[in-house]
Amino acid sequence: MPAEDSESEDAVQTSAPPVGLVAGTEDSTPLQFCVALDEDSYLQLDDVVVTLRDVPDVGPVVTSGIVTQVRARHEGASYGSDVFLISDGVLPARTQEIAEVSTTRVEPEIYVPPRPGEGVRRATGTERAQALYFDQMDSRVPVGRGRDGDPIYVNMEFLDGTRGAHVSISGISGVATKTSFALFLLHSIFRSGALGPRAVNAKALLFSVKGEDLLFLDQPNVNLNDDLKAEYAALGLPAEPFASAGFWAPPIPDDTTGRPNVTGRTSGVEAFWWTLEEFCDKQLLPYVFADAEDERNQYTIVIHQVAARLRREAMSVGDYGAVKVDGAVLRTYPDLVDLIIDRLTDEDTRADWAGPVTGTGTVNAFVRRLRSSLRPLSSIIRADLPPGPNRAISTENQQLTVVDLHNLHERAQRFVTGVVLAAETARKEDAGPGGLLFTMIDELNKYAPREGNSPIKDVLLDIAERGRSLGIILIGAQQTASEVERRIVSNSAIRVVGRLDSAEAGRPEYGFLPQAQRARATIAKPGAMFVSQPQIPVPLAVEFPFPAWATRLSECAGPVQSTPRTPNGSAVNGSGRVSSVAPSADLLSRLPDDDDIPPF
């Protein structure tokens, strides 16, 4: 007998006592079987069980599986009213519970059905690890606890691009705790040791669109008690905030000091914007039109014509990033928009700026959309602010980079997300796949909808299809996976589902969930998720602990500290990146409502 088989048999024989026998009233197959439970035993959904069959000329075959449904009934009852007679002792009957089990692993791979009457027991220790393939994971990342209280892992090889990449998280906003799970996953990736020495060069880029919740990730949570620390310790993780973090926010509109537009945190946050010189030189105009549009629209030709013209004609003026175009000095985004519209509506210059064969209707469509961008983008595209050393969003000097977008118009959010992602993708292409960049985007359906095309959708598709080879890992969160571009969802090796709307749960995008788990997803409580990974044929139900980091100002354990950090979390000297930001004069008018709901 092979040594591996002997070890499997020993593990089964020394584990927990049987809870029942393989049922003989239901068909038993290599992929699914039923268990008749003893009167004094029980099985619940998500329990891991194991049974053993001795096969001639092969030896013991261990079949492991996960309970996906449990039924109870009176055997001997014919009518619904018989339950009263049975309860009174008039009609003889027996209560019987039957658990349905979906097979996860057969060792050795001799696919024979478990025979009726064979004992079935809960899998613990080595048995559980074998049943869930944890024993085959060279590097594994804890993602929470199972129903039995023991850790659940995902294989790092399906996160770092070795065998797969990308994570898709779906669920109802405010209930499914998608952001909280994504942050816990990042914390686990960085601190579990699964990355080994690569953790030093691993980075995370987060786009925050729901208040200032993510501006306190480097602060300990005031609710961090001994019980919570014990939960993290059971998963092999420290109960600590993110030590190396940098924060960016847009500047206050109509303010010429360049202060970030934040209220809860007034230090350690940098303001970001793009100068007119950068806008022209890097041809950022297409990202102004980052909303999904019909492919038949022809004004995209004008976009690229104008962007190329600006790059050729714009000349730098002064130290603030102003430009001179056709003899006119431009210092604000409205100045630039007015000049472009003037050139496009002038009969003498239209052909040079829009192309010789572009019709008036196409030009007018471009002009209407460009003019509508004035209010959303004026605060982040400008040349009237003194340049700062940390104005440009960068992931180089810290492990976690948070870009706060919640104070921006939706169109500006798209612009920032598209430009930053394109820049980071280009940087990773030049640097090579030596380090990993985990990019978390909430409301992915807004940036990469199923229908239409846009520059930002093209960037996200490129990351989903080619990012694995570049070391860029996408963590996308959305309320409805059915409204996200199919190629992005299908390229996600890890799929996570929280609380779902009943109509959404019936969509084909959730076909990886067994029927019972689809039904359970509609009543899942916050903190409960279903995690699917390629190595395990059945999604695993997990519960992850409450954040050890603050998710709002009131959760900070003390005064907000803004000590600069290097990517490995050690402190740096006073010449580091993080700067102190003075509170604005209208601070009180911009304070958040006390009833703001944290993301967990």
Domain CATH code at residue 508: 3.40.50.300
- Sheet of 494-497: strand order equals 151-155, 140-145, 536-543, 528-533, 494-497, 167-170, 472-478, 437-441, 203-208, 400-404, 245-249, 269-271
pLDDT digit string, tens, across residues 511-532: 999 888 899 999 988 889 999 9
Q: How far apart are CA 68 and CA 165, in angstroms?
A: 27
Together in a domain, 416 and 508: yes
Whether residue 71 lies inside any domain: the answer is yes
As a three-state string, the secondary structure of 443-478 is: CHHHHCECCCECHHHHHHHHHHHHHHHHCEEEEEEE
Give the N- to C-terminal CA distance of the chain in Å, as an integer: 51
Together in a domain, 219 and 252: yes
What's the pTM?
Answer: 0.87
Together in a domain, 257 and 164: yes
Q: How far apart are CA 572 and CA 559, in angstroms?
A: 20
Domain boundary among 497, 512, 543: 543
Together in a domain, 100 and 82: yes
Together in a domain, 151 and 34: no
pLDDT of 3 strictly over 50:
no
Whether residue 326 lies inside any domain: the answer is yes
Together in a domain, 245 and 394: yes
Together in a domain, 229 and 339: no
Q: Give the pLDDT band (50/70/90) at residue 589.
A: very low
Q: Give the pLDDT band (50/70/90) at residue 18.
A: very high
Report the chain's mean pLDDT, rounded to a whole number.
87
What pLDDT sits at residue 1?
40
Together in a domain, 199 and 61: no
419: left (phi over 0), alpha (psi -120 to 50) or beta: alpha
What pLDDT sits at residue 431?
79
Provide the Cα torsion 384, 425, 194, 171; round to 10°.
80
Whether residue 444 lies inside any domain: the answer is yes
What pLDDT sits at residue 561?
64
pLDDT of 500 strictly over 90:
yes
Q: Nearest CA to 186 among 169, 174, 172? A: 169
Structure-token pair, residue 125 = 């220790």
Q: Which residue has the higher pLDDT, 99 or 570?
A: 99
Together in a domain, 95 and 171: no
What pLDDT sits at residue 8?
42
* Rounded percentage of the chain residues whose pLDDT exceeds 90: 66
Q: Which of 93-107, 380-394, 474-488 has the lowest mean pLDDT?
A: 380-394
Q: What is the helix, strand, coil percentage profile of the chain, to 5?
A: 30, 25, 45
Structure-token pair, residue 419 = 């430009």
Q: Give the pLDDT band (50/70/90) at residue 210.
A: confident
Whether residue 554 lies inside any domain: the answer is no
As a three-state string, the secondary structure of 46-100 is: CCEEEEEEEECCCEEEEEEEEEEEEEEEEECCCCCCHHHHHHCCCCCCEEEEEEE
Structure-token pair, residue 6 = 């002997």
Structural domain total, the chain: 3
Q: Give the pLDDT band (50/70/90) at residue 598.
A: very low
Whether residue 236 lies inside any domain: the answer is yes
Across-strand partners of 59? Answer: 55
Domain boundary among 99, 114, 136: 136
Q: Nearest CA to 71 among 95, 91, 89, 47? A: 95
The whole-number average pLDDT for the span 314-322 is 93
Whether residue 10 lies inside any domain: the answer is yes
Whether residue 295 lies inside any domain: the answer is yes
Together in a domain, 481 and 531: yes
What pLDDT sits at residue 301?
86
The whole-number average pLDDT for the span 36-51 is 94
pLDDT of 596 strictly over 90:
no
Q: Which residue has the higher pLDDT, 3 or 466?
A: 466
- Residue entry with tokens 């239409």: 452
Helix axes of 299-313 and 333-345: crossing angle, nearest 10 degrees: 110
Q: How far apart are CA 568 and CA 552, in angstroms?
A: 24
pLDDT digit string, tens, across residues 437-464: 999 999 998 899 988 888 888 899 999 9
The whole-number average pLDDT for the span 280-309 is 83
Together in a domain, 225 and 162: yes
Whether residue 289 lies inside any domain: the answer is yes
Together in a domain, 452 and 476: yes
What pLDDT sits at residue 568?
45
Can you give the residue range of the structural domain that contains 481?
A: 142-268+389-543
Q: Give the pLDDT band (50/70/90) at residue 359.
A: confident
What pLDDT sits at residue 68?
93
Chain-centre distance for alpha carbon 84: 51
The whole-number average pLDDT for the span 404-418 is 93
What pLDDT sits at residue 31?
95
pLDDT of 14 strictly over 60:
no
Q: Give the pLDDT band (50/70/90) at residue 572.
A: very low
Q: How far apart are CA 227 and CA 244, in angstroms?
A: 25
The whole-number average pLDDT for the span 115-131 is 95
The whole-number average pLDDT for the span 61-65 is 96
What pLDDT sits at residue 15?
60
- The secondary structure element, H or E, covering residue 34 is strand 32-37
Domain boundary among 321, 355, 377: 377
